[in-house]
Amino acid sequence: MLRRAGFGGTPDEISSYASLGYEAAVARLVDYEKVADDGAEARVAAMAAELDMTKLASIQAVWLQRMAMTARPLQEKMVLFWHDHFATGNGKVGRPQAMDYQNQFFRANALGSFRELLSGISRDPAMLRWLDGNTNRRSSPNENYARELMELFTMGPGNYTQADVHEAARAFTGWGLDRDYQVTFNPRQHDTGQKTFLGKTGNWDGDAILNLILAQPVPAEFMTRKLFNYFVHDHPSQAAIKQLADTFRQSGYRVRELVRAILLHPEFRSPDAYHGVVKSPVEYLIGGMKTLGINEFLPGIQGSLTRMGMNLFNPPSVAGWDWGTGWIGTNTFVERLNTANSLTTQRGNAAGRGIDPIAIVQQLGAATPDELVDGLLDLLVDGDVDPGLRDSLVDYVVGEYQGAPSNFLRDPQRLDRTVRGTTHLIMATPAYQMA
Amino acid sequence: MLTRRKFLQSGGLALAGAASLPLFLGRTALAAQVAGTMSDYGPDTILVVIQMSGGNDGLNTVVPYGLDGYRAARGAIGIPEANVLPLTERVGLHPEMGKLFERYQAGQVAIVQGAGYPNPNLSHFRSMDIWHTAVPDAYAQTGWLAGELAATQPTNPLYAVSVTDSLIPALAGAGTSVPAIPNVQAYQLRTDTRYPADRAAQIAVADWSYRQDYSGRAGQGYIAATGANALASTQMVQDGVAAYRSTVEYPNFALGASLKSVAQMIAAGLGTRIFYTSFGSFDTHSAQPNAQARLLGGFSNSVDAFLRDLEGMGQANNVLLMSFSEFGRRVQENGSQGTDHGTAGPMFVIGSRVTGGLYGEYPSLTKLDENRNLRYQVDFRSVYGTVLEGWLGVDQSVALGGRYDSVGFV
């Protein structure tokens, strides 16, 4: 559950949630306001005080630290969801502070009202720049935001016409940005004429357009399907979607109630869901660090994430990232393996940024090659691999060693080499790529 | 499942390791395995696709400066006639495309005007999907070039390369595994440097594991196939590109860097016949003039540098470039010094073996469709078909689900 509802867990976090029982664990994740998060807040505040927060790299670093440390993992997992859903890129926005402002908006509304999320994002400074809402004027409307609002943010293609795009663009005219990236509204640039949108005619403004969209049945199903794919797996039954979407709509589009229902849905605990979603790069990285007891990020980690295909605050397009097997190309997969190699081979001054082989062996209570492999497989992939792969890893660990198995890990160099190498190899397995 | 060690002991050596694949497959073998495909231009023809992502404004690329309606629609962002690089009395190139203009005059550039498809879709994603699958009227899963791979059945893991940050959907599907190599330098696998002797053992276990059966484990079969290709292709690329020497300076521009990677891989003789590049963003809803000038200048200069590099290595006759964008843009400019989503646009086909010139009619700027967009003149699938059959020498019907008449540029 922590792999899906968060970014994985440390062994301590996992046993803490497990001791609660299932429904109480869901409640702790979903009703996160009740969980104190002082440790992460203090660390993030200290980082923000130290870093130049007008730089994108600083904002990325602070967010990663929050993902790794937060006691409210579901909140942060939803911030990532909204960043992907309302995908905005600093490459065009060119204002890291505006990206940070948007990030904080997502955090404040992570499980809030979808209506308020839409209303807020429609006049969010970074979004106004990203989809040209700031130059959408009465005399000749700019369709960029209106189209993506319907295609990507609420309904999906096939549920509106080009004429609806044009009429919605008219309704959103008049918004702008001043030099300080503050939002402005110029009534003279706002089109007050009659607009016919989704079959209804009136003097609609932007919020009226959002209400007309949310009056349709489509958005609830559209968002339910996307969140189901995010948390459970990518092949939900239509019945499950319909039932969850009804819950969502009846709650008045409260995302908290939809996500709670998804986490409590039988499918979430089904064999199909188990190891059924590909980890995104941040989950691969942060989950690995948590599992292996690493608290410090590697230097240059932003570059690694980018090469893994996830440059935070710069998604590939307004459609966000291509999740699932879309994360896996030869280049991004090589970068996963190279990141795992970095995490498993740090030594000397950088040792705190990588694994501690001696501590791992003690934690696992391993002495023999079999115990080492089984312990690491349990730790990293719940032991969920084919026996042949397990045996091949043992073969690799044993190598040319001919001595007694119980003496195997007594040789410090042998321990160092095989714990690091085996951890790297398990992080390279297909099973480890799955959440 | 057998363990790897038992498998080796049982004599299954031929499949033992992609890491050692280059030792088995020398250049002769690479050439031989693709000899089944042959065009009039020989067995070694190479296609380089250039995707202009975001929807390039065709009207300010191949500028219809002498056609009715252009000036009226483009009062703020039209290209002044004096600046157009004239191809005919009616159309000419954007002023930043001087290098391509010279290549055009040398007969190396074919321009297909008004390329598009029926019932155009104005969504970036759906329209790109249509160009990637070559299926305009249904949702398809297989990229058109993956269909080519299905027809050719190459065994070389580098037969096609996606020179992009993520595998391009045009090369995905049909059970194929195509490497994504945005940059050849970064494309290498690291292992623990303290124990160099352990590297071969680690790679052998990983490679063996990627060749096992993952049925019943969602997603893992695809990951394993990708892993196997990654181990083989990183090794081949690093072995091969070390020999690349070039004095050609590429522009400091995304497409330039991509095409330099392509040149390095061609020089390495890896047997790659399809390269796919992408750059942008051409989504110029606002402040179009500067943005598009930079992109088209970068396109023209990068392609020219690439062609000079190929000429230097004696490969120019083997390479064809084809560019496209998911759609052109609205004829009527908007109020943001930009243009909204449109329909048909020009495609460039470039190379020393191309029959240069203009193909297809320029769409009328006054007889527009119901959304005030251009009506397409040439079905893009006929351009794809011409490239597949005329240049790569493969049956187009597998990739395109039908046969299209040749446009005639090769």
Secondary structure, 3-state, A78-147: HHHHHHHHCCCCHHHHCCHHHHHHHHHHHHHCCCCEHHHHHHHHHCCHHHHHHCCHHHCECCECCCHHHH
In terms of CA atoms, which chain B residue is nearest residue A319? B125
Across B175-184, average pLDDT: 89
A336 with A251, same domain?
A: no
In angstroms, the separation between the Cα of residue B3 and the nearest Cα of chain A is: 5
**Band (B245; pLDDT cuts 50, 70, 90):** confident
Interface contact B336-A396, CB threshold 8 A:
no
CB within 8 Å of A410: residues ≥ 6 apart: none
Nearest chain A residue to B157, by CA? A330
When pLDDT is cut at 50, 70 and 90, the band that residue A295 belongs to is very high
Q: Show Cβ contacts of residue B177 under 8 Å, excluding neighbours closer than 6 positions.
A: A330, B157, B225, B226, B228, B229
User: Are residue A257 and residue A230 in the same domain, yes or no?
Assistant: yes
- The pLDDT assigned to B11 comes to 40
Assess whether A285 and A357 both reside in one domain.
yes
Q: Minimal Cα distance from A332: which residue of B?
A: B166
Q: Are residues A412 and A381 in the same domain?
A: yes
Q: How far apart are CA A177 and CA A129, in angstroms?
A: 8
- Pick the last residue of a domain from A269, A294, A328: A269
Q: Is the pLDDT of residue A160 over 60?
A: yes
Does the pLDDT value for residue B368 go beyond 90? yes
* Residues A373 and A290 placed together within one structural domain of the fold: yes
Nearest CA distance, A147 vs chain B (angstrom): 8
Cross-chain Cβ contact B124/A388 below 8 Å: no
Same domain, A292 and A386: yes
Cross-chain Cβ contact B222/A393 below 8 Å: no
Query: Using CA atoms, how far apart are residues A389 and B64, in angstroms rounded to an integer?
Result: 63
The whole-number average pLDDT for the span A237-252 is: 97
Those residues with Cβ within 8 angstroms of residue A156's Cβ, 6 or more apart along the chain or in another chain:
A218, A222
CA B327 from centre of chain = 16
**Cα–Cα distance, A260 to B141 (Å, whole number):** 33
* Per-residue pLDDT band at B3 (split at 50, 70, 90): low
Q: Minimum mean pLDDT among A413-427, B102-116, B161-175, B366-380: which range?
A: B161-175
User: Residue A432: how many CA atoms within 13 Å on its side-chain side?
Assistant: 28
Given pLDDT bands bounded at 50, 70 and 90, which one contains residue A78? very high
Q: Which residue of B124, B178, B230 is in closest CB contact with A334? A: B230
Q: Which residues of chain B make contact with A334, given a CB cutoff of 8 A?
A: 187-189, 230, 234
In a domain, residue A325? The reply is yes
The conformation of residue A75, written as its DSSP 8-state character, comes to H
Nearest to B375 by CA among B74, B119, B124, B91: B119
CB of A333 less than 8 A from some CB of B:
yes
- CA-nearest residue to B190 within chain A is A338
Q: What is the pLDDT of residue B2?
A: 52
The size of chain B, in residues, is 410
CB contact under 8 A, B202 and A275: no
- The residue range of the domain holding A241 is 218-269
Residue A206: pLDDT above 60?
A: yes
Mean pLDDT to the nearest integer, B259-282:
96
> Of B174 and B5, which is predicted with more confidence?
B174
What amino acid is encoded at A165 in this protein? V
Q: What percent of chain A has pLDDT over 90?
A: 97
Given A269, A300, A331, the domain boundary residue is A269
Look at phi and psi of residue A382 and say left if phi exceeds 0, alpha if psi is from -120 to 50, else beta. Answer: left
What CA–CA distance (Å, rounded) separates B45 from B351?
11
> Does A311 lie in the same domain as A373?
yes
Query: B189: which chain A residues are within 8 Å (Cβ-Cβ)?
Result: 334, 337-338
Domain boundaries, chain B: 26-192+250-400
A329 CA: distance to closest CA in chain B (Å): 6
- Residues of chain A with Cβ-Cβ distance to B178 below 8 Å are 330
Two tokens, residue A234: 């990518």
Which letter does DSSP use for residue B6 in this model?
A: H
Q: Is residue A173 domain-resident?
A: no
Strand partners, B118: none
CB contact under 8 A, B189 and A338: yes
Chain A: closest CA distance from residue B110 (Å): 30
- Categorise residue B69: left if φ over 0, alpha if ψ from -120 to 50, beta otherwise: left
Mutate to test the interface with A, among B137, B156, B205, B337 (most CBs of A within 10 A): B205
Cβ-Cβ contacts under 8 Å, B177 against chain A: 330
Question: Chain B: residue nearest A347 by CA?
Answer: B194
A139 → chain B, closest CA residue:
B335
Domain count of the fold of chain A: 2
State whether A222 and A357 are in the same domain: no
Contacts of B234 in chain A (CB under 8 A): 330, 334
- A135 to B338: CB separation less than 8 angstroms, yes or no: yes
- The answer on A260 and A308 residing in a single domain is no
d(CA B50, CA A334): 25
Complex confidence, ipTM = 0.95
- Residue A275 near residue A434 (C-beta atoms within 8 A): yes
Most confident of A154-163, B10-19, B135-144: A154-163
Q: What is B26-192+250-400's CATH topology?
A: Alkaline Phosphatase, subunit A (3.40.720)
pLDDT in tens, A226-244: 999 999 999 999 999 999 9
Mean residue pLDDT of chain B comes to: 90
Q: Are residues A352 and A310 in the same domain?
A: yes
DSSP of B67-98: STTHHHH-TTTPPPGGGSEESSSS-EE-TT-H
**pLDDT category of residue B6 using cuts at 50, 70 and 90:** low
**Using one digit for the tens of pLDDT, what is the confidence trace for B91-117?**
999 999 999 999 999 999 999 999 999
Q: For residue B4, what pLDDT band results from cuts at 50, 70 and 90?
A: low
Whether residue B10 has pLDDT greater than 60: no
For residues B369 and B116, is the Cβ–Cβ distance under 8 A?
Answer: no
Distance from CA of B235 to the nearest CA of A (A): 12
pLDDT score of B354 more than 90: yes
Reported as a single tens digit per residue, the pLDDT across B372-404 is: 999 999 999 999 999 999 999 998 998 999 999
Residue B35: per-residue pLDDT = 41
> Would you say residue A381 lies in a domain?
yes
End position of a domain, from candidates A242, A269, A296: A269
**CA dist., res. B206 & res. B231, Å (int):** 9
Which residue of chain A is at minimal alpha-carbon distance from B286? Answer: A132
Q: Residue B23 burial by CB count (10 A; 0-12/13-18/19+): exposed, middle or buried? A: exposed
A35 half-sphere exposure, CB direction, 13 A CA radius: 20
Q: Within the 257-276 window of chain A, which residues sit less than 8 Å (CB to CB) from chain B? A: 272, 275-276
* Other beta carbons within 10 Å of B356: 18
Distance from CA of A114 to the nearest CA of B (A): 24
Residues of B within 8 A of A337 (CB-CB) are 189-190, 206, 230
Contact residues for A362 (Cβ-Cβ < 8 A; gap 6+): none
What pLDDT shows up at residue B15? 35
